[in-house]
Structure 1
């Protein structure tokens, strides 16, 4: 991933911190672009594999339809209650559809690790429960920014 963050270098996360943060959080907010140019934002569960954010989305959603027309998206993952605890990351790029849609469990080697990580993270299971309503989107970020206000002195 290319580091495109210029401002806030004091508070940006290192690659190790970013990997741990993204792996540990549960929910992200995904912004897509509608036909009229207006953003649509919704929450999703995801998995971070160290290079890409994998989003598990309902295929009959507004998000899915918008990404089919315009694959640009931005994702924010954040955490913290008090100002000095705030931390997060914003990733942007283009969605890539991976596997069948909706996902029914047909063999797809590219999804083996992703589905294992997802299932362990959210369900504590070893095997992915496919519901025939969701499918996978991959975001390999073109740009990103991160912040960790815990790094601000005082």
Structure 2
């Protein structure tokens, strides 16, 4: 039965949360003005358990989300079929202008990208890094994924 196979490979809520916490790249789809999907890969951090990333205020994904907040996120990995696993989140992308959460996410993502030790969300960072971070975040906004539906799979469970 197809339903039982699907249920076998589905991650539990805890497994999906742990998988998202251990990953850092997400494929993000928004809807362009012509109705076509706009797909990009972003580095992310979890903010209160939700996928969050910063991007330039004038980026295409921000323009799309301001027009239509529909967004899909996909975090996946694996090479061979039996290794494939992932989490797809369907919902809305919220554009957040507030500098405090933007800096928190920016510190985690920026540290990862720079090859520095990754701070806990909201932990103090090196003052030199913080100054550069504030400057880098000045032209950016925070996008937070608010999922309505989550689908997961782990073919290693089959």
76-85 or 120-129, which deviates more: 120-129
The aligned counterpart of 2:68 is 70
The aligned counterpart of 2:97 is 99
Q: Which of residues 83, 86, 95 is equivalent to 2:84? A: 86
1:107-126 paired onto structure 2 within 5 Å: 108=100, 110-111=101-102, 114-123=105-114, 124=116, 126=125
- 1:19–1:50 contact (8 Å) kept in structure 2: no
The aligned counterpart of 2:152 is 146
- 1:78–1:88 contact (8 Å) kept in structure 2: yes
Tell me the TM-score normalized by structure 2.
Answer: 0.76
Tell me, what secondary structure is at the counterpart of 1:140? strand
Tell me, what secondary structure is at the counterpart of 1:143? strand
Unpaired segments of 5 or more residues in structure 1?
1-5, 101-105
Tell me, what secondary structure is at the counterpart of 1:13? coil
Deviations 1:37-56 (A, max 9, x none): 11110111111245311122
The aligned counterpart of 1:136 is 142
72-81 or 42-51, which deviates more: 42-51
Partner Cα separation in structure 2 for residue 19 and residue 120 of structure 1: 22
Call closer, same or farther: CA 1:7–1:136 in 2, change over 3 Å.
farther
Unpaired segments of 5 or more residues in structure 2?
118-124
The alpha-carbon deviation at position 120 of structure 1 amounts to 4.8
Larger radius of gyration: 2
- Give the aligned CA root-mean-square deviation in angstroms: 2.3
The aligned counterpart of 1:103 is none
Tell me, what secondary structure is at the counterpart of 2:7? coil
- 2:54–2:102 contact (8 Å) kept in structure 1: no
